[in-house]
C-alpha cells in the first residue's frame, strides 16, 4: 500500500513537468487540422509560426503550396529543414521531382534521409541506379531496409519486387514474398500497393505451409517496426524538430 501511495504521489509531482513539454502545434494538428478545421488550425499556430517552430513552418508551407505559391512554400520548407524537419525536405524533393529537376530532388531526398524521414529515405533510394552496379545495389537495399525501420512500407515493396525479378541475380522467392507481405501494408501510408499479383503468384509457388511461415515472419517484423497510418505519419511532421 505504501508503494502505491508513493507512486501516485510521484505521478502527481511529475505531471506539471510533462504537461510543460507538450508540443501544441502537434496537439492542434489532431484537434483541428485532422478534423478538417484548417482555418482554426492556422489561426492557433500563428504564435508558434512567428517564433520559428519548424512544425508550424511545415504546415504553413503546405498551405502555401496548396494555393499555388511554390516559392513561399519552398522558403518555409527550407527554414523547417534547417531546424531538422525531415518531412519538409521530402516535400521539397517531391516538388522538384514533379518539375523533372532530378538533381535538386535527389539533394532534398538525401537531406531528408539524413534527418531520418522514412519517406525521404525511400524516395532517395528510388533515385539510385541499382540495375548492375553492385555498390549502388547494396546502398539501395540498405536504404530501403532503413526506410522500413522508420515504418515506411514502400521500402518493403521495392525490395519485394527486386527479389521477385526472375531475371535478376538476386532472385529469391522467399525474400520476395517476405518483403511483399510487409509491403502490402503500405496502403496505410497512402501509397498504392503495386505488388499484389507478384505476391499472389509467389504464394502459390511457395505452397500454403511455406507462405504461411513467411507471413508470420512478416508479422513479427511489423510488430517490431509498426507502420503508422497516414494521419499519424503527417502528425509527426508538425512536431518541433
Task: Check whether residue 110 and residue 199 sit in a common domain.
Answer: no
CA angle 73, 95, 130 (to 5 degrees): 145
**What is the residue-wise DSSP string for 162-190?**
HHH-TTSTT--HHHHHHHHHHHGGGGGGT
Query: Would the pLDDT of 4 be above 50?
Result: no
- pLDDT (0 to 100) of residue 188: 54
Q: With respect to residue 18, please indicate whether it lies within any of the assigned structural domains.
A: no
Q: With respect to residue 28, please indicate whether it lies within any of the assigned structural domains.
A: yes
Task: Check whether residue 170 and residue 139 sit in a common domain.
Answer: no
Query: Would the pLDDT of 219 be above 80?
Result: yes
Residue at which a domain ends, from 94, 126, 147: 147
Work out the pLDDT band at 113, boundaries 50, 70, 90.
very high
Q: Which helix (H) or strand (E) holds 209?
A: helix 208-224
Give whole-number Cα distances, 98 to 13, 63, 95, 105, 204, in Å. 52, 18, 5, 9, 38
Say if CB 83 and CB 241 are below 8 A apart.
Answer: yes
Q: With respect to residue 168, please indicate whether it lies within any of the assigned structural domains.
A: yes
Counting residues of the chain whose pLDDT is more than 90, the rounded percentage is 65
Task: Check whether residue 160 and residue 178 sit in a common domain.
Answer: yes
Residue at which a domain ends, from 116, 147, 178: 147
Per the listing, cell 488550425 goes with 41
Please write the tens of the pLDDT for every residue from 120-157: 999 999 888 766 666 778 899 999 999 999 888 888 98
Task: Check whether residue 27 and residue 55 sit in a common domain.
Answer: yes
pLDDT average, residue stretch 62-69: 96
Which residue range forms the structural domain that includes residue 105? 23-147
Report the 3 state secondary structure along 214-232.
Answer: HHHHHHHHHHHCCCCCHHH
What's the count of helices (H) and strands (E) in the chain, helices before strands? 14, 0
- pLDDT (0 to 100) of residue 227: 79
- pLDDT (0 to 100) of residue 95: 97
pLDDT average, residue stretch 214-224: 94
Cα–Cα distance for residue pair 113/119, rounded to 1 Å: 8
pLDDT average, residue stretch 170-198: 80
- Helices 154-164 + 118-126 axis angle, to 10: 30
Q: With respect to residue 91, please indicate whether it lies within any of the assigned structural domains.
A: yes
Task: Check whether residue 65 and residue 105 sit in a common domain.
Answer: yes
Cα–Cα distance for residue pair 29/53, rounded to 1 Å: 14
Looking from the CA of 239 toward its CB, the CA atoms found within 13 Å total 11
- pLDDT (0 to 100) of residue 241: 75
Query: Would the pLDDT of 7 be above 80?
Result: no
Q: With respect to residue 125, please indicate whether it lies within any of the assigned structural domains.
A: yes
Work out the pLDDT band at 108, boundaries 50, 70, 90.
very high
Q: How many domains does the chain have?
A: 2
Q: With respect to residue 7, please indicate whether it lies within any of the assigned structural domains.
A: no
C-alpha cell at 75: 522558403
Cα end-to-end distance, the chain, whole Å:
41
Work out the pLDDT band at 68, boundaries 50, 70, 90.
very high
Residue at which a domain ends, from 147, 169, 191: 147
Task: Check whether residue 180 and residue 135 sit in a common domain.
Answer: no
pLDDT average, residue stretch 43-61: 97
- pLDDT (0 to 100) of residue 168: 86
Amino acid at each position: 500500500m505504501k508503494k502505491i501511495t508513493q507512486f501516485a504521489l510521484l505521478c502527481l509531482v511529475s505531471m506539471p513537468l510533462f504537461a510543460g513539454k507538450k508540443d501544441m502545434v502537434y496537439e492542434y494538428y489532431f484537434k483541428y487540422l485532422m478534423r478538417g478545421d484548417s482555418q482554426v488550425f492556422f489561426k492557433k499556430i500563428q504564435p508558434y509560426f512567428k517564433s520559428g517552430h519548424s512544425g508550424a513552418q511545415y504546415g504553413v508551407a503546405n498551405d502555401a503550396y496548396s494555393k499555388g505559391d511554390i516559392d513561399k512554400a519552398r522558403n518555409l520548407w527550407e527554414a523547417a529543414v534547417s531546424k531538422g524537419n525531415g518531412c519538409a525536405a521530402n516535400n521539397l524533393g517531391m516538388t522538384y521531382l514533379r518539375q523533372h529537376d532530378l538533381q535538386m530532388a535527389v539533394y532534398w531526398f538525401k537531406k531528408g534521409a539524413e534527418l531520418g524521414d522514412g519517406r525521404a529515405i525511400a524516395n532517395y533510394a528510388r533515385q539510385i541506379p541499382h540495375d548492375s552496379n553492385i555498390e549502388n545495389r547494396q546502398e539501395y537495399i540498405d536504404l530501403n531496409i532503413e526506410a522500413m525501420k522508420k515504418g515506411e512500407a514502400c521500402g518493403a515493396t521495392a525490395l519485394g519486387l527486386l527479389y521477385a525479378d526472375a531475371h535478376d541475380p538476386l532472385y529469391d522467392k522467399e525474400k520476395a514474398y517476405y518483403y511483399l507481405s510487409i509491403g502490402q501494408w503500405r496502403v496505410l501510408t497512402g501509397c498504392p500497393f503495386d505488388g499484389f499479383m507478384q505476391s499472389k503468384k509467389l504464394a502459390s509457388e511457395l505452397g500454403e505451409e511455406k507462405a504461411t511461415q513467411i507471413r508470420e515472419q512478416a508479422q513479427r517484423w511489423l510488430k517490431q517496426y509498426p507502420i503508422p497510418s497516414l494521419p499519424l505519419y503527417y502528425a509527426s511532421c508538425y512536431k518541433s524538430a
